[in-house]
Structure 1
Amino acid sequence: MLKTLLSIITICTIAIFGLWIYESMTTKETSGNPYSDTIPSKMGKPDSSEYMFTERFPYTEEEILEKTGYGPKTGEGFNSSNMIASIADFQINQPGEEQGTYIEGIPEGHTVKVELIERTKELEEIDKINEVTYEEGEKGLVATLPDKRDQLYSLSAEMINGNGKVIDTYVGIVYVPPEPEVNAEVSTDKTSYSPTDTMDFRITNFGPSRLSYGARFIIQSYGNKAWKTVEGPEAVVAMEYILLPKESTIHTVKLESYDLEKGKHRIIKRLGVSDTEVEEELAATFIVE
């Protein structure tokens, strides 16, 4: 009984301590005013990247084969019995990374030709970057991406029998995005509110990077020629949101939780590029009447 009670007390203490740490991390920025006097509501623009491909690639497997001019995927050479990792139809990778397919070993009397070709958004060929022929027994059928960004490539593996005939093909599209940056916009559903209204706060990701952000919103009031942070809800759930490229999301904000006076205010959101240290702040201004 005593052990159980001590365990419960320990768990509660850890939970409270964890919440205190999280709150400290997310509220320490409200001491004074570390925010700029001018924070934009928009950064970048839609379709700022040449290709703007995201997790949702516009072509099917059949269309990729047709547009790139490769033969059919028959399953005669690459199949479940010898595949370790196949070429994905579409993937986003970084410059200099090694990409390809891995098998148990090229069958006796066969070879595999791997090609890396730079292509347009419509998958038309621009330049053949690399071509390698792998011999029987080899397992890693790969190519290394060039040190260039905002590029689109096709990566193919063709298995060829002893008669020189292509018996099976794997082909996928690889996109190397630009340098990670926040291209996004924040906005509110109205320009003016009452102190007890609920605000619809919209975040739009122009892409091409995925954006991540936390649950906390910072609201500031303008007075005496300066912005001052308004105290909000004391406890905020520690969670991370992910916003995919070319998508928008709306969060509801209860203004009565901030006890706002009449005047000019702004709501600030810090957005980061997923899996990087790139962060930016955007803000939307509004009036309380």
Structure 2
Amino acid sequence: MKKNIIYNLLGLFLLLFAFTACDYETAEQDVSEIISPNTKPTVTITSNISSSTVSEGETVIYTITFDKPIERSVTFTPTVGGTADDHDYLAEAVTLAAYTTSVQLPIEIYEDYEIEGQESLTIQIEILGIAEKYLVHPDTVIEPIELQINDYVDDNKLVINFAWNTDDDFDILVYSDTDTYPETLWGTGGATGANPEIDHSIWLDDPAGTYYVCILDWDTGTNWDYTFTLAFPDGTTQTITGTFDGTNYPYTNFVGPSSWDSPNAYKILKVVNNNSTFVVTKI
């Protein structure tokens, strides 16, 4: 009997040892190395400008940099807001290729002669791909970028924006009345069917003297309000407003182009060019 008890105890000991050995082996197989987030790249963004204010015609370049390369590509997409319209800029997504550490994302600010005053852009550069977000360090935070955009300044031209408050079609023509070119049609850039109409036909290096900005009313027979916004080569602006009398036409005029059936071009603004500055007055 005593001998059987010894055998039973010995068998129980062997059985417990077998279970312990299995657990040890299983534990050795199941344990794996914890992947540290520090193996993932951090993201930094720098630009080619030192100020947050830019002018139309400039391109701001943002350089997106990883501190280490990875074996997957990552796409960065700019989401743009602010007061500027999408016709004022170009911003497209870029991809940082695998095994590289940087890519450039340009924001092109379009140059135009529309006088809009300072506008703003808010740019948020994002990784939109769900899987791609996990490729970079989890602490990555890309702050939004704020830009202020100034109107394009032409250092040789008087820029004229002509706007009105009706749905009618009006145009402006510019005439020279200098000693060199008396009563001469000088510019038709403000006759396009747009509102505002834009003209920039008077240059500082044109013959010195007087020029006239004239309205073509096309015989609407109504009174309507207009606004002239002028941009000068020194970066300053001037606004002139008034009401056009289309029922009485109390204006002097030039005869418009014969190819347009010789419409009356009514003198509204007088521009004096002395080859260094422009002086603009309402007639």
TM-score, normalised to structure 1's length?
Answer: 0.29
Structure with higher Rg: it is: 2
Greater RCO (Cα-Cα under 8 Å, separation 6 or more): 1
TM-score by length of 2: 0.29
